Amino acid sequence: MEKSESSTTLMMQGNQACAVGALAAGCRFFAGYPITPSSEIAEYLSVQLPRRGGKFIQMEDEIAAMGATIGASLTGLKAMTATSGPGFSLKQENIGYACMTEVPCVIVNVMRGGPSTGMPTLPAQMDVQQARWGTHGDHEIIVLTASSAQDTYEQTIRAFNLSERYMTPVILLLDEIVGHSTEKVVLPRQSEIEIVNRKQPEMPPQDYLPYKTGPDLIPVLANLGSGYRYNVTGLCHDETGFPTNDTRNNEALIRRLVEKIKAHRDDIVRYRERKLDDAEIVIFAYGSVARSAKSAVVKCREKGIRAGLFEPSVIWPFPVKEVFALSGKVKAFLVPEMNLGQLAREVRGAVEFKVPVHQLNRVDGNPITPLEIVNKVEEVI
Amino acid sequence: MEKSESSTTLMMQGNQACAVGALAAGCRFFAGYPITPSSEIAEYLSVQLPRRGGKFIQMEDEIAAMGATIGASLTGLKAMTATSGPGFSLKQENIGYACMTEVPCVIVNVMRGGPSTGMPTLPAQMDVQQARWGTHGDHEIIVLTASSAQDTYEQTIRAFNLSERYMTPVILLLDEIVGHSTEKVVLPRQSEIEIVNRKQPEMPPQDYLPYKTGPDLIPVLANLGSGYRYNVTGLCHDETGFPTNDTRNNEALIRRLVEKIKAHRDDIVRYRERKLDDAEIVIFAYGSVARSAKSAVVKCREKGIRAGLFEPSVIWPFPVKEVFALSGKVKAFLVPEMNLGQLAREVRGAVEFKVPVHQLNRVDGNPITPLEIVNKVEEVI
Amino acid sequence: MFDYLKYIREWNFPHIWCSGCGDGIVLKALIRAMDKLKVSRDEAVMVSGIGCSSRTPGYIDINTLHTTHGRALAFATGVKHAKPELKVIVVTGDGDCTAIGGNHFIHAARRNIDMTVLLYNNYIYGMTGGQCSPTTPKGYKASTAQYGNIEPPFNTSGLAIAAGASFVARTDVYHVQQCEKMISLALQRKGFSLVEILTPCPTAFGRRNRMSDPVVMMEWLRDNAVSGRKWENLSAQEREGKIQTGVLIDVEKPEFTAEYGKLMEKVGVQK
Amino acid sequence: MFDYLKYIREWNFPHIWCSGCGDGIVLKALIRAMDKLKVSRDEAVMVSGIGCSSRTPGYIDINTLHTTHGRALAFATGVKHAKPELKVIVVTGDGDCTAIGGNHFIHAARRNIDMTVLLYNNYIYGMTGGQCSPTTPKGYKASTAQYGNIEPPFNTSGLAIAAGASFVARTDVYHVQQCEKMISLALQRKGFSLVEILTPCPTAFGRRNRMSDPVVMMEWLRDNAVSGRKWENLSAQEREGKIQTGVLIDVEKPEFTAEYGKLMEKVGVQK
Amino acid sequence: MDRYEIRLSGSGGQGLILAGKILAEAAAIYDGLNAVQTQSYGPEARGGASKAEVVISDGDIDYPKAVELDLLLSLTQESCNKYSGDLKEGSILIVDSEAVKDLPQGDYRIYSLPISEIALHKVGKAVVTNIVALGILTTICGVISAEAVRKAILARVPKGTEELNMRAFNEGCQRAAELLSG
Amino acid sequence: MDRYEIRLSGSGGQGLILAGKILAEAAAIYDGLNAVQTQSYGPEARGGASKAEVVISDGDIDYPKAVELDLLLSLTQESCNKYSGDLKEGSILIVDSEAVKDLPQGDYRIYSLPISEIALHKVGKAVVTNIVALGILTTICGVISAEAVRKAILARVPKGTEELNMRAFNEGCQRAAELLSG
Amino acid sequence: MTEEQSASKEPAVIRVKPEWCKGCRICVVFCPRDVLEMENGKVIVVRPDDCIKCNLCELRCPDFAITVE
Amino acid sequence: MTEEQSASKEPAVIRVKPEWCKGCRICVVFCPRDVLEMENGKVIVVRPDDCIKCNLCELRCPDFAITVE
Ligand SMILES: Cc1ncc(C[n+]2csc(CCOP(=O)(O)OP(=O)(O)O)c2C)c(N)n1
Ligand SMILES: Cc1ncc(C[n+]2csc(CCOP(=O)(O)OP(=O)(O)O)c2C)c(N)n1
Ligand code: SF4
Ligand code: SF4
Ligand code: SF4
Ligand code: SF4
Ligand code: SF4
Ligand code: SF4
Ligand SMILES: [Mg+2]
Ligand SMILES: [Mg+2]
């Protein structure tokens, strides 16, 4: 539907908006394994992809789904997978492989309550640190989030764009509320959507070095079958793509993988703010909690409390600089989260303990209401 | 050999010391899947366990190894598994299950370079944050580390003890250098070793509630087959062990899982110090790097620099209080790590940014030498 | 009348299964079989994964272990190896056992470790709302195969035999006495014994395949599950679309925990 | 003389395999088969997991993908599904394919997705120094089975057949012409085609089992791998300890990417 | 209208999720308001949900779940008991008179109609109970236009059932109108 | 003795890891010193290592790897080229004269003996090359007692090969002694 | 195995637990003697005397909701 | 398939790449005409005239180290 050349307004579930956004971004491959509350993404794409010449496959498990996603991406298709906590845990080894081999792809995790099987149908934001640290070995990763169906649509497109630009897996963290709420989404014309496609080599094949990068630190990987024959490996490798035991090279490789994201953090980091200009207290909130926080800001203002909202749409790299900048201006932060303070610890670090960072945490599978936030603001201010 | 009733001195590899420590602690079950640089642990136990009436099994993969370890532990055997980065990633889902169901077991990760297959035979400390955050869902976990074969022997015993006491999986992080260095280990008499065995219910079966805890927040799980029939599930459950959708209960459960460890952090946290009394700079180091740091302290002192060493043997819960206590007394911290600063960020948080925390990082698979540490100390002091 | 009450966890009833779901029928057959064989409830351990069928442990009053999706056999292997005197019963779904759990399935069969596996084959992922499973027949619909499934299904029992299982039977919940008998035989065998039980999921499978009425699904089983002698007398053409039930293999092979026991004897257990 | 040089990545030679390791023999057979079939190097993709055998991609000058342990078939499925015009060749070890990768193995076979799988069966985990694998014969020694392995091995080819593979052959590196022929046949089949290749690992398997001399392992293959007609003429007793080689199954079945192609046609691809 | 919260409750299989989606779509797409529809799931998302919520507003809808209900529809006694406590002052409770015999007490108006009865005997099919309910609800609450709901129904129901569903909706509207005017 | 660093180098299969372990055990268990033995592995631990290190000290050994070698044993030209640069001033280099023809230059004493030759022809088995080397090394470096090394050898080698190994060790000791005195 | 098994002489006592009955109709449809019927979504016993105590309703009820004595 | 295949009239040119030869002896032992031998851990061609160009040494060398023309 996003193919028609005028913007359209439709009602859709967050999960569907994710799938529609993926198609708009150019996603033509999806490999998944069903899990609540993400399955609708797969279900929708299983219907739509074959109609668009794209490929859908339900794999035997999440590990396989991640592997197939990476394999497909190497042929040049934009590829995605979607899951929830338990499956996200299983994908970690291969997510690390995608980081190491610099294969773009998008991994959606619609978060539910954990640990373990936990609360399969109830929302949570408990996988936020896992998204950063879940795979073994030092690495850096881009993680986005969204708070509404519209936002999900947009962030999904952005996830693909960042992935293609920086040649790296990008994780999109939704929560069950966002994934399962049906609301209006305005789909722009396809021609109005900014689309990034990975670069392809321009030199003759014999001069091509897949992992040689310019100052942007980003490699150019040729699509499999395009005449550039090279090697991809999860072992430490040099510019040629072949494994090496040269330790100096290995240090350079791992540092480049990290730097490639850190160096571009200004291009990557995004957030939305509301009434931060004169705020005495900043509510730092993301995902569905940001919705409650928006209401809470309005209600606080009605009560004469100068509250503001900082809503990151990129969680990792963490917006350290932007949050720090606020620390001189405000009296306190409040971080309401459907976990026990996973990003509160980052906010605290970002403001270098200069202002108090309060927490409001729920881990019972219930959403945090605007009222709860207002009450907490009143309590701490 | 640790069975003979006098202390013995033997040369052993760190990995062997781990296996020997496990046997001394009462480990009678091991399920594993080979991976460098941890395989010697499995190999040694495959020989020793059948001789001690214990059970060894090589499973089809790491996920299965983790599952079998938990299953075995539920029968009452002390159980262990060992792996390295890629396998550690794969075990994450089931580690979360052990957290949720409160099944004691020990998971050893002999760290090598990553991400992905990375540097299979070279040391690293890159899985330190993963050990904390690797599984989905909010949880808390105990993670130990060791810096020599002797230390490995002792920390392995402690890992089992903490696991049995707190009814929780315990992770032991070694690095390839510690795992593969052969050195002297003094084995005390078996009777001198402190051994903790999990409690068993004392009430009649009909009164037994597996997940009802006293003020210590620790449940008593009956061994399977002992006449107490109960249910174990990774879903949120109540005191009876059956799944429930009661959100208040679920909040209480998840908070208890976290509090059970936090509340006992003073009993859990351990560290060794060297010359901290008058230190102007604290080197915070663990694993094989702590060995270099020890030399570095001596060398710094020779140069007139008042350096001291803080060597945590428990990484998680992080020794926040102890590190914070130093922040008033010293000029700076230096955290040398074979990663890009994974615990430096914790030290920084612990001292609340009050003193500078410097880093010295290597990710090339080479150890950090004493000289490098000394040079860095001179540079930053 | 059989007294189920003493075997079930009455306080958890009515169970969560949908109206007409066959899972309860299997549970009852299992209970009767255990009762007749006088299996000690204290020594019986049920291990399941995740799925509708895998919720069975909540309802039977023995030692019960509801683990992670696909991993029941791995946990069960740990339980049995650690304490061979326990009677281990694994309850798993077609997705749990043959999709995500496929590897543990073939390896447990290969090892021939002593346990009875009840594989509830309802041709679908019931719990998550009706996605394709590796047993969904070609052409049938599922929420991830809305144009009809293009993948061929496993012959799950055949796979278990090829992997090394020593006892394999197939049955269904319409033929409920056969179902009980197959479970009973499996419980008596020493080794990896699999009972694949065809069972209706009207909600997630039936609904999309013109069988949302549980009765229709039962009729389908009545008409298509063919056992023993009858099956042998069918021509290849007649077999088309029909499913063979009954004992498919029953051989003696060395069992894993017994072999390990021999090893311990050989090396001599030191105190 | 065959000119291997134009197919190999000469700069990575000599390869890392031990003296007498059979992996190089298979690589050469593959190269000859590809050459004779005129497989385009630009369109050929080799996907491997982790293991000694899985290091093959470093040495052959086609598109190569060295993935994670056990997952080669999952990655390969993504590659093939995404771009069916590519010729996908999977190189995997007995551990990689049948231990950690067992699930992907049976599912790729079930789907009958078009790829040629070369399973280097050396009965051991070579790369990690000689631990048991699911194909280590009972009684043989490994670093995790120092008293002799107590588990029965898989009949890997049989398992692939039961899972649905349309072409399965077994061969060995002593019978090197047969090896090349089996690979060549597999490359020509449309569907999941497996070639299980018995190959010596003198270092990790031979050393512990009185066959550290590569020559002795080759002799063992010469004497025990029996193909075609010869096998059929053996009595059950004579077959004891011997291994059947040659084509084990070769049938036509719908192939996955072709079926998906039909689905796309049916639903009508919109621009 | 600042925020109007509706909860549709009953047992799985009564088509309440679809009703919720239609209501939300009517408000958001055809009436130009904003609307968010949410639902709650069974154990792992399997069965039908027993409750669907729609929040409607002419401004942004931040918090998507219902907290203080403006309108509750209950097709079973159980759901009525469970949720009537969430009704705010001056709100509306619509119940199926055949199923809900035991009416709760509170500061809200109660409309009791034989909803499934109407579907089965007046319209002729039990499956349209949800659409009958929609007609009643639309008429009573007055927040969404009947025209919008009609369009939304036509856009959502299976081809070939349009007429049946229109009859069901109209029947619901009419019965509610009678009740209101009666 | 503060810290004495030994590196044994050659190609896989020459038994240098075992030699390293024996050396370390001799020092630590039988001579009452401290010792740490480390080694480096092939691709994923498969083949034999090409280098083993032993650090010996009468105090604690913190850093376990060799940085500045006191003694290097090289059984191949390649390993000699690769590692001789790590030798510190006044240190010792022992090479197999048959394999290492191209001797490096530096501030260290070089002892060149036909080690594998001695093993094969004097002792009669190529497999004891490592033990011959141990005899030579023990005699030349003087840090560990020959008695301790003998005990450690006997504790580590397979039953039935004790005599052979003792002969190899003694032969190594003798040849080194001759060289030193010669 | 035949569906109709030996019936004893005693009249059948068929007990239904309506709280657990989910109304699937399996017992009703496959009763060889049409003993049972549905009412308001629950099973009821309408012709107890026809019951041959074959027990199939009990064996096949997924909900532990009907027993025959 | 027979191990000894048709030999052409031209004398065989057997080339060894000693840098790649790992001395496994496979070519030596399984040469049907004893053409090859080991020296210092590498293969050498000692009786080239006996070679029947069956190519088996080339086919079986794991190290791409010997060719026959
Ligand atoms: C790791 C993981 N992946 C996915 C899921 C979601 N999930 C739960 S049950 C299930 C499938 C259930 O199907 P089956 O095993 O056939 O059982 P049934 O419900 O049909 O009885 C899935 C995919 C999960 N819980 N964990
Ligand atoms: C997840 C994971 N687990 C374990 C390993 C360690 N590992 C590397 S190769 C290998 C087995 C190799 O055996 P096989 O597949 O038979 O290949 P071979 O070396 O014998 O050719 C193992 C266990 C790994 N790299 N990753
Ligand atoms: S969804 Fe299917 S399998 Fe699950 S309880 Fe309902 S009918 Fe049974
Ligand atoms: S260890 Fe075995 S499989 Fe690996 S290269 Fe050596 S001989 Fe080959
Ligand atoms: S026992 Fe049940 S099924 Fe059999 S006749 Fe009586 S009522 Fe019918
Ligand atoms: S079979 Fe059981 S649940 Fe179904 S209608 Fe009969 S009594 Fe009720
Ligand atoms: S080709 Fe090779 S194997 Fe054959 S005879 Fe000549 S040297 Fe021998
Ligand atoms: S087969 Fe090859 S590697 Fe082996 S000895 Fe002959 S030439 Fe050398
Ligand atoms: Mg199922
Ligand atoms: Mg192998």
The E69-74 sheet, strands edge to edge: A8-13, A182-187, E34-39, E51-57, E4-9, E69-74, E87-96, E108-113
Residue B233 CB neighbours (<10 A): 25
Asked whether the beta carbons of residue D68 and residue B86 sit closer than 8 angstroms, the reply is yes
pLDDT tens digits for range D177-199: 999 999 999 999 999 999 999 99
Cis check for the bond before D14: say yes or no (omega within 30 of 0).
yes
Question: Do the chains contact at C16 and E42, CB–CB below 8 Å?
Answer: yes
**Do C and E touch, counting CB pairs below 8 Å (3 needed)?**
yes
- Tens of pLDDT, residues A72-101: 999 999 999 999 999 999 999 999 999 999
3-class DSSP state for residue E96?
A: strand
pLDDT above 80 for A237: yes
Q: Is the peptide bond before B37 cis (omega within 30 degrees of 0)?
A: yes
| Any atom of ligand 3 within 6 Å of the Cβ of C26 | no
The whole-angstrom separation of Cα B115 and Cα B86 is 8
Mean pLDDT (whole number) for C124-131: 96
In angstroms, what is the span from residue A320 Cα to ligand 3's centroid?
48
Interval between CA C14 and ligand 6 midpoint (Å)? 12
Rounded-to-integer distance, Cα E113 and Cα E107, Å: 19
CB spacing of A67 vs D75 below 8 angstroms: yes
CB contact under 8 A, D1 and H24: no
Q: Return d(Cα A48, Cα D50) in angstroms, integer.
A: 35
Contact residues for A205 (Cβ-Cβ < 8 A; gap 6+): A227, A228, A229
Tell me how many domains chain E contains.
1
Contact G59, C176 (CB under 8 A): yes
What is the mean predicted confidence (pLDDT) over A305-314? 98
Tally of domains in chain H: 1
Quote the domain boundaries for residue G20: 3-68
Whether D113 and D99 have beta carbons less than 8 Å apart is answered as: no
| pLDDT in the model for residue E12 | 76
Cβ atoms < 10 Å from Cβ of A345:
17
Burial group, residue B248, by CB count within 10 angstroms (0-12, 13-18, 19+): exposed
- Split at pLDDT 50, 70, 90, the class of F157 is very high
Chains A and C touch (3+ CB pairs under 8 A): yes
Point out the ligand 1 atom lying closest to the alpha carbon of residue C94. 16
What CATH code would you report for B272-380? 3.40.50.920
Q: How far is C128 from chain A (nearest CA, A)?
A: 6
ipTM greater than 0.95: yes
Give me the pLDDT at residue A7, please: 84
Mean pLDDT of chain A, nearest integer? 97
Q: Given pLDDT bands bounded at 50, 70 and 90, which one contains residue G4?
A: very low
Tell me which residue in C50, C55, C129 faces E45 most closely, judged by beta carbons. C129
Q: Is F126 in CB contact (< 8 Å) with chain D?
A: no
Q: In three state form, how does the secondary structure of chain F look?
A: CCCEEEEEECCCCCCHHHHHHHHHHHHHHHCCCEEEEEECCCCCCCCCCCEEEEEEECCCCCCCCCCCEEEEEECCHHHHHHHHHHEEEEEEEEEECCCCCCCCCCCEEEEEECHHHHHHHHHCCHHHHHHHHHHHHHHHHCCCCHHHHHHHHHHHCCCCCHHHHHHHHHHHHHHHHHHHHC
Residue of D160, F131, B106 lying closest to C158 (CA atoms): D160
Asked if F63 lies within 8 A of B181 by C-beta distance, the reply is no
pTM: 0.97
Could you tell me the CA-to-CA distances from G60 to A193, B275, C20, C171, F91 in Å, in that order?
Answer: 57, 76, 10, 14, 87
Q: Coil, strand, or helix at residue A371? A: helix
Q: Is the pLDDT of residue H7 over 60?
A: no
Whole-number CA gyration radius for chain D: 18
State the chains in contact with A (3 or more Cβ–Cβ pairs under 8 Å): B, C, D, E
- Looking at beta carbons, which residues of chain F come within 8 Å of B180? 38-39, 41
CA distance A182 to E64: 9
F59 CB within 8 Å of a chain D CB: no
Q: Please, which residues bridge with residue F113 across strands?
A: F96
Please tell me which of the candidates B120, B121, B367 has its beta carbon nearest to residue F65.
B367
Element (H, E) at C198: strand C192-198
The fold of A2-192 is: Rossmann fold (3.40.50)
For an interface test with C, which of B5, B23, B60 has the most C Cβ atoms less than 10 Å from its Cβ?
Answer: B60
CB distance G35 to G46 below 8 Å: yes
Chains H and C touch (3+ CB pairs under 8 A): no
**Closest-CA residue to B46 (of C48, E101, D132, H60):** D132
CB under 8 Å to A220, separation ≥6 — which residues? A167, A198, A199, A200, A201, A210
Which of these, C129, A224, B356, A228, lies nearest to D46 by C-alpha position? A224
**Residue C120 exposed, middle or buried by CB count within 10 Å (0-12, 13-18, 19+):** buried
Alpha-helical (H) ranges within chain D are 23-37, 72-82, 94-98, 102-111, 156-163, 176-188, 214-224, 228-232, 236-239, 256-267
Exposed, middle or buried: residue E13 (CB in 10 Å: 0-12, 13-18, 19+)? middle
Domain boundaries, chain B: 2-192, 272-380
CA pair distance A307, A292, nearest whole angstrom: 13
SS (H, E, C) B139-177: CCCEEEECCCHHHHHHHHHHHHHHHHHHCCEEEEEEEHH
Tens digit of pLDDT at every position of chain B (381 positions) = 444 457 899 999 999 999 999 999 999 999 999 999 999 999 999 999 999 999 999 999 999 999 999 999 999 999 999 999 999 999 999 999 999 999 999 999 999 999 999 999 999 999 999 999 999 999 999 999 999 999 999 999 999 999 999 999 999 999 999 999 999 999 999 999 999 999 999 999 999 999 999 999 999 999 999 999 999 999 999 999 999 989 899 999 999 999 999 999 999 999 999 999 999 999 999 999 999 999 999 999 999 999 999 999 999 999 999 999 999 999 999 999 999 999 999 999 999 999 999 999 999 999 999 999 999 999 999
How far, in Å, CA of C5 to CA of C13, rounded?
11
- Model pLDDT for residues D221-254, shown as the tens digit of each residue: 999 999 988 999 999 999 999 999 999 999 999 9
d(CA D6, CA D51): 25
The predicted pLDDT at position H8 comes to 54
Residue B274: Cβ within 10 Å count: 18
pLDDT at F54 over 80: yes
Contact between F168 and F119 under an 8 Å Cβ cutoff? The reply is yes
Ligand nearest to the CA of G30: 5
The one-letter amino acid code at B348 reads R
**Interatomic CA distance for residues B353 and B351, integer angstroms:** 5
Q: Answer for the pair D36, D25: CB distance below 8 angstroms, yes or no.
A: no
What phi and psi values does residue F177 have, to the nearest 5 degrees? -60, -45
Chain D residue nearest residue H54, CA to CA: D1
Q: Does residue D12 belong to the interface with chain H, where contact is any CB pair within 8 Å?
A: no
Question: Ligand 2: does its nearest atom lie under 6 Å from the Cβ of D127?
Answer: yes
Tokens of C206: 């039936």
Span from the CA of H61 to the centroid of ligand 8 (angstroms): 5
Residue contact B183–F67, C-beta within 8 A: no
Q: What mean pLDDT is predicted for residues G20-36?
A: 97
Number of Cβ within a 10 Å radius of residue A264: 18
Nearest residue of chain D to residue B30 (CA atoms)? D144
The set of residues, in sequence order, having a beta carbon less than 8 Å from that of C143 and lying 6+ positions away, is A39, A43, A46, C129, C130, C131, C204, C208
Q: Each residue of E17-64: pLDDT tens digit?
A: 999 999 999 999 999 999 999 988 776 655 545 789 999 999 999 999
pLDDT, residue E182, reads 76
- Kindly list the protein residues whose Cβ atom lies closer than 6 A to any atom of ligand 1: A 33-35, 62, 86-87, 90, 117; C 50-53, 69, 93-96, 120, 122, 124-128, 133, 201; E 44
Give the pLDDT of residue A6: 75
Task: Name the closest ligand to CA H46.
Answer: 7
For residue F115, give the CATH number of its domain: 3.40.920.10
- Give the distance from CA G43 to its chain's centroid: 8
Contact of B334 with B376, CB cutoff 8 Å:
yes
Here the tokens at position D219 are 């002799």
Give the domain extent around E99: 4-181
The alpha helices in C39-101, defined as continuous H runs, are 72-82, 94-98
Tens-digit pLDDT profile for residues C77-119: 999 999 999 999 999 999 999 999 999 999 999 999 999 999 9
CB D224 within 8 A of CB D243: yes
Q: Nearest CA to F106 among F136, F120, F85? A: F85
Whole-angstrom Cα Rg for chain C: 18
Which stretch of DSSP H or E encloses residue A88?
Answer: helix A85-101
Element holding A307 (H helix, E strand): strand A307-312
Which residues in chain D are contacts of C252 at CB distance < 8 A? none
pLDDT in tens, B346-367: 999 999 999 999 999 999 999 9
d(Cα A162, Cα A195) in Å, to the nearest integer?
A: 10
Tokens representing residue A230 in the block: 């090279």
- Name the band, by pLDDT with cuts 50, 70 and 90, for residue C271: low
For residues C43 and B229, give the distance between their C-alpha atoms in angstroms, rounded to a whole number: 9
Which of C50, C61, C81 minimises the CB distance to B72? C81
Residue of D nearest to A242 (CA): D58
Instruction: Give residue D68's pLDDT band: very low, low, confident or very high (50, 70, 90).
Output: very high
Q: How far apart are CA D61 and CA D30, in angstroms?
A: 12
- 3 state SS of A138: coil
- Give yes or no for a contact between A86 and B136, defined as CB atoms under 8 angstroms apart: yes
Is there an atom of ligand 6 within 6 Å of G18 CB?
no
For residue B56, the SS3 value is strand
Token pair in block for residue D181: 């022929």
Residue E80 above 60 pLDDT? yes
Q: Which domains does chain C have, with CATH numbers?
A: 22-261 (3.40.50.970)
Does F60 touch chain D if contact means CB atoms closer than 8 Å?
Answer: no
Distance between CA atoms of residues F174 and F123, nearest Å: 12
Q: Which long-range contacts (CB under 8 A, 24 or more apart) does H32-39 make?
A: H32/H3, H32/H4, H32/H56, H36/H66
Contact residues on chain D for C191, CB-CB shorter than 8 A: none
